[in-house]
Amino acid sequence: MSYTVIRIGVRMYRIVDPLGVAMYLVCGSRRAALLDTGCGVPGLAAVVRQITNLPVTVLLSHGHVDHAMGAGEFGSAHMNLMDLPVYRAHAAISYRQRFVAGCGFSNIELEPHLEERALKPLRGGDVFDLGGVTVEAYAVPGHTHGSMIFLVPEERAAMFGDACGPGTILLEDWSTDVKTYRRALESVRVLDGRYDRIVRNRGTYESPVFLLETVIEVCDAILSGHDDRVPLPPSCMDLLPRPAALPAYRAIRTMVTRQGEVRVDGREGNVSYRADKAPQGRG
């Protein structure tokens, strides 16, 4: 099983692990930054070295199993320390193996996760100057309390990760409520006009620039009680390290197509939320 690499900009590469999870390498004149590290399938550092010999700074969008577990190959990483609790739960080898098996893969060797003492603080407003290109970090609590997005202004690209996507999930104990999430999304509007593309870690790996506004509209529908509130089957919670016995809902109705699961109205941007994440009286 191997990684694939696609150059997506003058200084930016998409690296996809064998499970289909993407991470992004940004190369400056002095340093490189690796945005997320996938599930920890061996070989990521070697792939990065094939692209650049520059020193690499690892930046993690959040502490989930499919974003942070390859960081061990690099010896250190920056992560919002609000995500330490979720990182601990997702780093457990028993959970990592269960997650990979649940994705349809078996007998995959996994790299040891990065020890917590090697995690450096990452805060909203942090800027990493790589030499001729920069990476800016913005805090967007929602999917997890420590979720971040990264802006690469010289490439006019924003990596939204799981912070805002076609199917953002607020299903864990470590997810915020919808109102908090909506407020965080509002803060991202400060970036309007600074990016022309949104890159992500799964699915099509890219989204239209209006995604942020669409997901804000979805949050408004949930908060006002006007979303479709489609019940999710209990099996949707099976891949979580600590499932809760609470009902969960998809805000906007979807259908399955050849391209995967999409909204019935053809728009992109959705939210799945646990009953306790919605306004009181809606659970």
The string of pLDDT tens digits covering residues 113-170 is 999 999 999 999 999 999 999 999 999 999 999 999 999 999 999 999 999 999 999 9
DSSP letters spanning 105-117: --S---PPPPPGG
Which pair of structure tokens corresponds to residue 16?
Answer: 């996809």
Confidence of residue 235 (pLDDT cuts 50, 70, 90): confident
Q: How many angstroms separate the CA atoms of 276 and 283, rounded?
A: 6
Confidence of residue 259 (pLDDT cuts 50, 70, 90): low
The pLDDT value recorded for residue 250 is: 96
- Tell whether 223 is covered by a domain: yes
- Tell whether 282 is covered by a domain: no
C-alpha distances out from residue 69 to 90, 194, 203, 241, Å: 8, 30, 19, 15
- Tell whether 227 is covered by a domain: yes
Residue 173: beta bridge partners? none
- Tell whether 178 is covered by a domain: yes
Backbone angles phi, psi at 101, to 5 degrees: -65, -40
Which pair of structure tokens corresponds to residue 65?
Answer: 């199993």
- Tell whether 283 is covered by a domain: no
Return all residues near 15 (Cβ < 8 A) that are at least 6 apart: 3, 4, 5, 22, 23, 24, 25, 38, 44, 47, 48
Domain count, the chain: 1
To the nearest whole number, what is the mean pLDDT of the chain?
94
The distance from CA 85 to its chain's CA centroid, rounded to whole angstroms, is: 16
The pLDDT value recorded for residue 282 is: 52
Return all residues near 259 (Cβ < 8 A) that are at least 6 apart: 204
The distance from CA 13 to its chain's CA centroid, rounded to whole angstroms, is: 17
- Tell whether 83 is covered by a domain: yes
pTM of the prediction?
A: 0.95
Q: How many angstroms separate the CA atoms of 127 and 68, rounded?
A: 20
Would you state the torsion angle of the CA atoms of residues 55, 59, 63, 66, taken in this order, to the nearest 10 degrees? -70
Contact 18, 40 (CB under 8 A): no
Nearest to 154 by CA among 24, 6, 23, 28: 28
Q: Which residues span the domain enclosing 30?
A: 4-277
In the chain, the amino acid numbered 160 is: F
Q: How many angstroms separate the CA atoms of 178 and 222, rounded?
A: 8
Contact 3, 43 (CB under 8 A): yes
The pLDDT value recorded for residue 283 is: 43
Contact 61, 87 (CB under 8 A): no
Q: Is 102 helix (H, G, I), strand (E, B) or coil?
A: helix
- pLDDT, one tens digit per residue, over 76-121 is 999 999 999 999 999 999 999 999 988 888 778 899 999 999 999 9
- Tell whether 266 is covered by a domain: yes
- Tell whether 103 is covered by a domain: yes
Contact 18, 43 (CB under 8 A): no
Contact 36, 66 (CB under 8 A): no
- Can you give the CATH number for the domain in which 41 is found? 3.60.15.10
Pair type for strands 22-27 and 32-35: antiparallel
